[in-house]
Structure 1
């Protein structure tokens, strides 16, 4: 499970260091792809296979499902971290997420998310109050 907030820097070659506590989990390979709110989703390879398999269950007659899968899968890039735990974020994905130097990596359960730090801070500022003010169930059976 991925938790927490980390702030690595993007280097001149478009690489970031994975947080040390996640390197073993990602050592065998990972997939980076477009996420919502213009962040990137980062999955261990085995978790991405599960997500892709769930997508295969969607009806191909649904335009919304086709559109989502096209955008999600066409941006996906499989990467293998080097011995220091660095991996390259392809240029098209850096552009999509507006990544420059300062990035924020957050744990999101089964995946990590990579955000431009300014965009993450703005998102968090805009949504923290509604999170604190939530009075009805958002996630069934949990909150």
Structure 2
């Protein structure tokens, strides 16, 4: 499980140092792809395979499923972090997420998300009030 928020920076070679707490879970390999709200999703390779298997169950006749899979897989790249826990974020993915230098790396349960730091702060500020209001509706029985 991935938890927390971290503030690494992209270096001059477009590398990002993964938070130390995430490195062991991602050391064997990972997949980076486009996420919703203009962030990047980083999946442990095994978890991405599980998601892929679930998506294979979607009917090929579903336009929404086809569209989602095309964007998800066409933008995906696989990486293995180096010994310092760095990954290279390809140019098309940096452009998609608006990444320049300051990033926010957040734990999102079974994946990691990479955001432009300012975009994350803006998103978080906009969502915090509705988060408090929706918690009971999203997770029945959770206060």
TM tier relative to shorter chain = over 0.9
Cα gap change, 1:64 to 1:95, in 2 (>3 Å): same
Query: What residue number does 1:37 align with?
Result: 37
- Distance, in Å, in 2 between the alignment partners of 1:111 and 1:21 is 13
Query: What residue number does 1:100 align with?
Result: 100
Query: What residue number does 2:85 align with?
Result: 85
Give the drift of 1:139.
3.0
User: Which residues of structure 1 form unaligned runs of 5+?
Assistant: none
2:17 pairs with 1:17:
yes
Query: What residue number does 2:114 align with?
Result: 114
Give the drift of 1:140.
4.6
Cα gap change, 1:103 to 1:135, in 2 (>3 Å): closer
- Distance, in Å, in 2 between the alignment partners of 1:10 and 1:141 is 41
TM score, norm. by length of structure 2: 0.96
User: Which residues of structure 2 form unaligned runs of 5+?
Assistant: none
Cα gap change, 1:135 to 1:124, in 2 (>3 Å): closer
Give the drift of 1:131.
1.1
Count residues in correspondence: 143
Give the drift of 1:134.
2.9
- Distance, in Å, in 2 between the alignment partners of 1:55 and 1:71 is 13
- Paired residues of 2:6 and 2:106 also in contact (CA < 8 A): yes
Give the drift of 1:135.
6.5
Question: Considering only aligned residues, what root-mean-square deviation do their CA atoms show, in Å?
Answer: 1.2
Cα gap change, 1:57 to 1:140, in 2 (>3 Å): farther
Task: Using the TM superposition, name which of 128-137 and 75-84 deviates more.
Answer: 128-137
- Distance, in Å, in 1 between the alignment partners of 2:10 and 2:124 is 21
Cα gap change, 1:135 to 1:25, in 2 (>3 Å): closer
| Cα shift readout 1:63-90 (whole Å, capped 9, x = no counterpart) | 0100000001100000010000001011
| Cα shift readout 1:114-140 (whole Å, capped 9, x = no counterpart) | 000000000001110111233641135
- Distance, in Å, in 2 between the alignment partners of 1:135 and 1:8 is 29
Task: Using the TM superposition, name which of 129-138 and 101-110 deviates more.
Answer: 129-138
